Amino acid sequence: MSAYTALCPTALQAFLADHAVGALLDSRPIHDGVENSNYRLRTERGEYVLTLFESLTAAELPPYLALMTGLAEQGLPCPRAVPDRNGRLLGELHGKPALLAARLPGAGVTDPAPHHCRVIGAALAVVHGVGRQLPAMPANRCDGAWRRSIAAQLRLPRDCAALLADELAFQDKQNPSALPQGLVHGDLFRDNVLFEGDRLTGLLDWYEAGSGAWLYDVAVTANDWCGEDPDRLRALLDGYATIRRFTDAEQDALPAMLRAAALRFWLSRLLARQTPRSGELVQTKDPEEFKRLLLHRRDRDAAPAI
């Protein structure tokens, strides 16, 4: 669970008084997420999620809020911000940028069936298609320069350092910018997606979104949803391809891209473990999970084909 900032009831009441949501009936921290502080609120008018941004600043947030609004207007199940009485989407609470959004129905899927993987694959391809009609986002932050800068900050045992050096060298030889590009979510893990039964009801947490290779987004999503399970991976790729066919170059690049996506989260989780943040209720995620997956993706015999 992450709730870095504790909510003071008086400050929360004052914040909500600026929004036409009625009186607060209940508030509780949300047991998922590692980046921001999230609270589930129930008021006289309905259910909401309050996010206090712990890293992104008020100046950095507008493109992400515009993106979520644009996607929701195109019919995708993305959070809709509740404007305050002056029409502003972003407020401030405890000195942090604060966003009130309508709570979407459904719950995260921890053990997805191939069916869920097919649905999320197709949804991702829809996102990529819809993104073409929206203003371009800044470049995805987790590129080769980012990898190198994180790697330079890490203190690792010798075997991990050797694996990292070898993988960085391999990835430096790839050319993701030659692949089809556009909007990428960048973090479409299971805990950023809601399902109600078999129906997809929420695509959350767009704060890693950017412009980049669509195949990178497919690989990030596939690594978390499918792990080492080939049936889930097949289903996710098939689902995606029902909306947009992969190009020949993407088919060739998939094994390397799955490695790049595993490397990206191994690095960010290692950094989070090494530089813990203080807070009320803080969770970090296990870097070993992505080290294991990276080793699996490097195994030539296990290399998947589209």
Closest by CA position to 55, among listed 289, 285, 268, 290: 268
CB 30 to ligand ATP: min, Å = 4
Q: Which does 49 bind (CB under 5 to 8 A by kind): ligand ATP, ligand HSE, none?
A: ligand ATP
Q: Which residues pair with 43 in a beta bridge?
A: 24, 46
Q: Which does 104 bind (CB under 5 to 8 A by kind): ligand HSE, ligand ATP, none?
A: ligand ATP
Q: Which is nearer to ligand ATP, 103 or 292 (CB)?
A: 103
Q: How far is the CB of 186 from ligand ATP (least distance, A)?
A: 10
- 273 touching ligand HSE, by CB under 6 A: no
**Would you state the structure tokens that stand for residue 237, as one six-digit string?**
């790729």
Residues of this chain, 172-211, that bind ligand HSE according to CB under 6 A: 187, 189
Amino acid at 161: A
Separation of alpha carbons 101 and 63, rounded Å:
16
Contacted by 294, from ligand HSE, ligand ATP, none: CB < 5 to 8 Å by type: none
Residue 94 amino acid letter: H
Integer Cα distance of 35 and 55 in angstroms:
8
Classify each residue of 33-46 as buried b or exposed e, where b means 16 or more C-beta atoms within 10 Å of its C-beta: bbbbbbbebbbeee
Minimum CB distance to ligand ATP smaller for 207 or for 216: 207
> What does 269 bind: ligand HSE, ligand ATP, none (CB cut-off 5 to 8 Å by kind)?
ligand HSE
Q: Two tokens at 140?
A: 């995805």
Q: Which parts of this chain interact with ligand HSE (CB under 6 A)? A: 34-35, 187, 189, 265, 268-269, 285
